Structure 1
Amino acid sequence: KFPLAINVVRGKFDEVEGPDGHGVEKADVNIVDGDLPDTIRDESKQGEVSHFQALATAVSGTVGLGNIAGVALAIAIGGPGATFWMIVCGLISMSTKFVECTLGVKYRDVDENGTVYGGPMYYLSRGLKERGFTNLGKVLAVVFAVLCVGASFGGGNAVQSNQAAEQLASMMGLQGGSTGFIIGVILAIIVGIVIIGGIKRIASVTEKIVPFMAVIYAIACLAVIFANFSYIDDAFVLIFKGAFTPEAGLGGLFGVLIVGFRRAVFSNEAGAGSAAIAHSAVKTKYPASEGIVALLEPFIDTVVICTMTALVIIFYNSGGVFEYGGDGAGNVIVNGASLGGVTLTSLAFESVLPWFPYVLTLAVVLFAISTMISWSYYGLQSWKYLFGRSRTADLTYKLLFIAFVIIGASASMGAVFAFSDAMILALVFPNMLGLMFLFPSVRDELSKYLDAIKALKK
């Protein structure tokens, strides 16, 4: 479905969204016992953002410092072999994204003002109720919402401000206990200005930032890769050999696999359900159309960008631990973790492009800001699910989120990453349990959309 996803994003099949639907059955209205009468409407025609804006918002939440700092840490801890398992996880994640984002649109709620509320909280509670698991759905929805709020403060916020502050301080030669705090305050002001405007402003910002920063970063990666092209075969030998035959034996194999999967999941968030919140705001009456668009996320994030970052770091060969032109044996960069994720990546780029740390600093800051503003929306949706949709609840969450920008910039990297990993991993359990029960609904929605496209082509 990859070419189909590209065509949906560029609007080739927008005609199927018309009032007639080309004779294809329209999506059902999601009416669940307990809904307020004034919120029940034909949600299939509702939405706040376009396919591209929803994709940009979701990608900005995933294409971030996990691609820069996370990949560096994966290789520093697990060696080049971790790259292979990141790619495998990225490919598997494409189907997971499709399922959760289709469900996000199918079971979303729309209030009387046209504001969309969606995500795992809603498909867990509503979807499982349809299948006779009312209490289980309620419990899983609440658990997910609580964990998502925590993840928004951690991986979606503190990690981003922490690594952005580290790179800014390193580039400008700043030292002192107040450096992180000052940078955190500046970032908090920028993020605060954007998130006040809600999903429409977030989408309008991310659709401009994401393509720009992704292209700049990709060009820089390609420059380093082509400069070291004679080592490309050695690099892939290191990756494949390290993935299956690490020196530590079977324990090392599972260690590398776990490191690769953990960093990939932290980067693309597949299975965590977070992206379904952004995709649920799309303007469409066919839930599967947005699920197909969501397929692009893990591919862009993990298969493309993470792989290019990994090659850059392997070429850099910190401390000369990788044996190029030899037997392909690859070791762990023992001192890599002590350098810090972004710093290691920066040194790798600087080895070929002396001026690139300045560009990387800009990329890191843009990655961090875009990820934070996207995750603020994820967390806010979960917060409102728990505490209601009042202005007080809205303001309370946003103030807490802004405070964590400052806290993250001032904290140590190890503590921030440990908390973030725990939150992202915990999100997977209630979400994946729900996906297993609701998969038949996704199959039905896909058939509806494909039938609509076939009718359009006739």
Structure 2
Amino acid sequence: MEIDKIIDTAVEPISNSVAAVIFYSIPFLDSEIKLVLVWLVAAALFFTVYFGFINIRCFRHGIDVLRGKYDRDDVDGQINRFQALMTSLSGTVGLGNIAGVAVAISVGGPGAALWMAIMGIFAMSTKFIEVTLGVKYRQHGSKRHPEAISGGPMYYLRAAFDQFHKPRLGRFMAGFFALCCVGGTIGAGGLFQANQAYQQALVVSGGESGFLAERGWLFGIFMALLVGLVILGGIKWIAAVASNVVPVMAMIYIVAGLVVIGVHYEAIPDALQTIVEMALYPEAGIGALMGALLMGVQRATFSNEAGLGSSAIAHSAVKTDVPVSQGMVGMLGPFIDTVVICMITALVIVISGAYIEGSGIEGVELTSRAFAAGISWFPYVLSVTVFLFAYSTMISWSYYGLKCTTYLFGEYDIVENIYKVLYCVFIVIGSATQLSNIILFTDSMVFAMAVPNIIGLYLLAPEIKKDLQTYLKNVRMQ
């Protein structure tokens, strides 16, 4: 038996046990609802109402802040607002925007696309509070590198429980979050992304008879070198690359999608009507309605990561002394990720009619077929964007894992270097092997992050509400 299969078989019982807990589901009508999904959705709805629909009333203000309208030069931080948002987006704008949307439509029908967009709008409020807290409770933890900033749920969770005189519980929750983030980073950021990027490269290069067949390790080394060259430079290099790669890859994908939509322009009204009708009035009744709603909400939540706390780690390094202002920028992420990019994918699939031909659950192959319906060679464009999406996710998630590793073991150079080398090694492993059970385990770790993170958000919400009121008064006076 090959070594990767031996490892995968050994990990299988542990992986299944952990996934059964994290992704525990309860039956509802003809569907099942994952409790972690309920946890994330409830938070998004609560914070939207609690902050007075900040996602809508402050949307334009968030764009003004991103443009630098309120920036000052004499503030603490390592990266600018645009770089922080792009670093965050590089972790969320990934294969979920391509394959995840296809899965939602193939399972829940075209109506799932509308529910994805609606959930993306509500998720903006969750992103607002976690990014604000990330900046507010960030620290300069390294003595050798005093300019370096560390922030994220690890730090604001401790503050949340300290106010209730429960420091031990705060340390436990922060440590639990950090541990889950490190585990999730290895799988979601390293193994899975490298594996998917290799699979796409394999298809384009000729499949099983092409040059890359049985050479996953070679592709992995190439990817590891590309990632390693960036992550060695820390957040400044990661942010610099992300701020260039993310806009380019998003623009390539959006333009390609708009071309396909343009080719089928006569079908646009019918496609939009189909999406709305299937979302609100499905022919199959209430069961189909719940299926579309649950699948759309699930894929949106899994796509934008609002509630997981990961984005707060990236935004914490921003140059500002007003945490709420960066929260305004952070909440734009789910809109770009889930409303704009995911809806482009959905429209391409529905307008082309590619989903009608499918049978069962389909991912990137459905999206690829839909793009081919517009222009035959567009799947190659899709392969380029898949590669860029995977690469950008790798570099941003490497930073999340790094900050959680140094939180657990101390902000020392040797800790950082060991982590970076191991992260690159896992990229090679991910390209060369099929460790499905390890990826399932690490996926579970990613969503386990939501449990302590959202508890901290609830505890600190009154504090942020006061900060928001003060901030908005000051903005009106300017």
Q: In the superposition, relative to structure 1, how do residues 255 and 291 fare at CA in structure 2: closer, same or farther (>3 Å)? A: same
Indicate conservation of the 8 Å contact 1:13/1:453, yes or no. no
Indicate conservation of the 8 Å contact 1:120/1:141, yes or no. yes
Q: Name the SS for the 1:109 alignment partner.
A: coil
Q: Name the structure 2 match of 1:347.
A: 369
Which letter does structure 2 place at the counterpart of 1:99?
A: I
Distance in 1 separating the partners of 2:332 and 2:102: 23
Which letter does structure 1 place at the counterpart of 2:218?
A: I
Q: Which runs of 5+ in 1 are unaligned?
A: 19-44, 322-332
Q: Name the structure 2 match of 1:447.
A: 469
Q: Name the structure 1 match of 2:317.
A: 281
Q: In the superposition, relative to structure 1, how do residues 410 and 251 fare at CA in structure 2: closer, same or farther (>3 Å)? A: farther
Q: Name the structure 1 match of 2:42.
A: none
Q: Name the SS for the 2:449 alignment partner.
A: helix
Which letter does structure 2 place at the counterpart of 1:7?
A: D
Q: In the superposition, relative to structure 1, how do residues 312 and 418 fare at CA in structure 2: closer, same or farther (>3 Å)? A: farther
Q: CA deviation at 1:135?
A: 2.8
- CA deviation string 1:203-245 (max 9, x = no partner): 1111111111111111111111122122223323332333345
Indicate conservation of the 8 Å contact 1:77/1:334, yes or no. no
Indicate conservation of the 8 Å contact 1:90/1:264, yes or no. yes
Count of matched residue pairs: 415
- The alignment status of 1:7 with 2:40, answered yes or no, reads no
Indicate conservation of the 8 Å contact 2:349/2:355, yes or no. no
* Aligned counterpart in structure 2 of residue 265 of structure 1, from 301, 319, 322: 301
Distance in 2 separating the partners of 1:10 and 1:161: 34
Q: Name the structure 1 match of 2:180.
A: 147
Q: Name the SS for the 2:308 alignment partner.
A: coil
Q: Name the structure 1 match of 2:353.
A: 317
Q: Name the structure 2 match of 1:119.
A: 152
Q: In the superposition, relative to structure 1, how do residues 265 and 400 fare at CA in structure 2: closer, same or farther (>3 Å)? A: farther
Q: In the superposition, relative to structure 1, how do residues 179 and 71 fare at CA in structure 2: closer, same or farther (>3 Å)? A: farther
Q: Which runs of 5+ in 2 are unaligned?
A: 1-57
- The alignment status of 1:381 with 2:403, answered yes or no, reads yes
Q: Name the structure 2 match of 1:70.
A: 100
Q: In the superposition, relative to structure 1, how do residues 143 and 244 fare at CA in structure 2: closer, same or farther (>3 Å)? A: farther
TM-score by length of 1: 0.85
Distance in 2 separating the partners of 1:182 and 1:77: 35
Q: In the superposition, relative to structure 1, how do residues 319 and 288 fare at CA in structure 2: closer, same or farther (>3 Å)? A: closer
* Aligned counterpart in structure 2 of residue 52 of structure 1, from 82, 90, 104: 82
Q: Name the structure 1 match of 2:430.
A: 408
Distance in 2 separating the partners of 1:170 and 1:159: 17
Distance in 2 separating the partners of 1:420 and 1:235: 37
Structure 1 stretch displaced more, 134-143 or 57-66 = 134-143
Q: In the superposition, relative to structure 1, how do residues 62 and 161 fare at CA in structure 2: closer, same or farther (>3 Å)? A: same
Distance in 2 separating the partners of 1:345 and 1:151: 26
Q: In the superposition, relative to structure 1, how do residues 411 and 81 fare at CA in structure 2: closer, same or farther (>3 Å)? A: farther
Distance in 1 separating the partners of 2:418 and 2:131: 28
Q: Name the structure 2 match of 1:168.
A: 201
Distance in 1 separating the partners of 2:196 and 2:271: 27
- CA deviation string 1:283-330 (max 9, x = no partner): 111000100001110000000000110111222333635xxxxxxxxx
Q: Name the structure 1 match of 2:444.
A: 422
Distance in 1 separating the partners of 2:285 and 2:408: 46
Percentage of matched positions with identical amino acids: 48
Structure 1 stretch displaced more, 55-64 or 65-74 = 65-74
Distance in 1 separating the partners of 2:300 and 2:96: 8
Q: In the superposition, relative to structure 1, how do residues 360 and 197 fare at CA in structure 2: closer, same or farther (>3 Å)? A: same
Distance in 1 separating the partners of 2:112 and 2:196: 21
